[in-house]
Amino acid sequence: MRVALLTYSTKPRGGVVHTLALAEALARAGEEVTVWSLGRGGDAAFFRHVDPAVTLRLVPFPDVAGEDVGARILRSIEVLGTAFRDESYDVVHAQDCISANAVPGCVRTVHHLDTFTTPALAACHERAVVQPRALVCVSAAVAAEVATGWGRVPTVIPNGVDAARFAAAAGPAGEAGRQGWRDRLGRYVLAVGGIEPRKGTLDLVEAMAAVRARRPDLSLVVAGGETLFDYRDYRARVEERAAELGVHPVVLGAVPDPELPALVAAADVFAFPSTKEGFGLAAMEALAAGVPVVTRDLPVLREVFGDAAAFAGDAGELAVALLGAAERPDATRRAAGRVLAARHTWDAAAAAHQVLYRSLG
């Protein structure tokens, strides 16, 4: 089959990581795969090397000074849709709202559901659920939300994870990389995904104040955070509250892809206090590295992680769970995490996608 996978960015966000890994697995399975994306701000490549078996099509998308988020998203849809208009594939599979609006009638993966107050963005979100010919969700919990809200029944295909890559970073061959991060950062609780409301950063800062009262050697490190949205006000609130509490998080921003596994493997605990998720790929990578994971107590994360993670509700519970994971690592839980991560392969995800694609005729 000639398959086009569409994503909105070249940066390391979960949906983009998913798109590239799925594309490579489909290519290994013998499909002819092209990944389309917007090359924002002059980007000429993705954040990581992509297997040459996958064809890449990056559509130039220059920055516009003073453009607000709504206008940028609408322009993204128009630019990607115009570039794709005369293309022909057996399957067109969009991985987000932007690309689903750009190519109506595609297959679309709903990683998680957003809530927008701006009418134009709310309408885009609605079209991206209603118009696709078929929907995929990476967890049954999100599929149930779609069924309840829109009466559609998505196909559930869990994410894969490059478990071997993160497991290797935790082993003897990864010692130098781990030590490099420890020399730079000391001992730390790690969060990946940046500072934004959906990632629950304010609760994490509150929790870390209690953690550091007992374990002042543990710092908070935040990696990642590439996003289309403007979270400056939220980040200012987080920074103000962190200063009041004396937490002083180390904010790394986007970490080069080759260095990420060692950063994860060197952490004492991986914190994942998201208020909304579709799967939790970053936390699954931490499990693959044998790092204790503490996550928000959400139905979707209970579904995905089961007994392999510790769960917490508010900031107080999060602090208790983080301290417990740091001071009394549960060997049984960590072993379960490694096994769980190893079961989630991209080749299995690709095989399930092939079955879906062929069922659509």
Q: What is the pLDDT of residue 120?
A: 81
Is the domain of 125 the same as that of 181? no
Q: Which residue range(s) make up the domain with 255?
A: 163-343
Number of structural domains found in the chain: 2
Q: What is the pLDDT of residue 128?
A: 95
Is the domain of 337 the same as that of 350? no
Q: What is the pLDDT of residue 18?
A: 96
Q: What is the pLDDT of residue 352?
A: 98
Rounded-to-integer distance, Cα 134 and Cα 104, Å: 11
Is the domain of 145 the same as that of 285? no
Is the domain of 191 the same as that of 265? yes
Is the domain of 154 the same as that of 168? no
Is the domain of 125 the same as that of 11? yes
Is the domain of 126 the same as that of 239? no
Is the domain of 148 the same as that of 167? no
Is the domain of 52 the same as that of 150? yes
Is the domain of 275 the same as that of 136? no
Contact between 305 and 280 under an 8 Å Cβ cutoff? The reply is yes
Is the domain of 89 the same as that of 214? no
Is the domain of 280 the same as that of 261? yes
Consecutive sets of 10 residues in the chain, 361 residues long: mean pLDDT of each?
A: 96 93 98 96 93 97 89 93 95 96 96 84 92 97 97 97 97 97 98 92 96 96 80 90 95 95 98 95 97 97 96 96 94 95 98 98 79
Q: What is the pLDDT of residue 217?
A: 96
Instruction: Output the domain CATH number for residue 275.
Output: 3.40.50.2000
Q: What is the pLDDT of residue 232?
A: 84
